[in-house]
Amino acid sequence: MPLYMDIHTVGGGVVVDDVAKAHMADLRTQSQYDVRYLRYWVDEARGKIFCLVDAPSPDAAATVHREAHGLVAEEIYAVREGT
């Protein structure tokens, strides 16, 4: 399945503990859409969240976020893992 990196921006910054809770909500929702959220990274000061997801499409990945917690990414990029 394709890999995607999505990018969220939260005005005023973000707290990593809140992102962890949202990620757990993604994990509870993802199987309904054949999606696997793999990892995430957070830049708290800049309010940036980056999620790596294995999904059949960008729309499927976005649907999981939307249904799990409502924080839909502004950008989603198809990526390939390098060595």
Q: Where are the domains of the chain?
A: 3-79
Q: Does the pLDDT of residue 82 top 90, yes or no?
A: no
- The CATH class of the 3-79 domain is alpha beta
Select from 73, 36, 69, 70 the least CA-distant residue to 53: 36
According to the model, what pLDDT value does residue 81 have? 87
Place of tokens 């939307």: 66
pTM: 0.91
Task: Tell me the two tokens of residue 63.
Answer: 């649907």
Distance between CA atoms of residues 52 and 26, nearest Å: 12
Angle between the N-to-C axes of helices 16-29 and 58-68, in degrees from 0 to 180, rounded to the nearest 10: 110
Query: Mean pLDDT throughout 2-16?
Result: 94
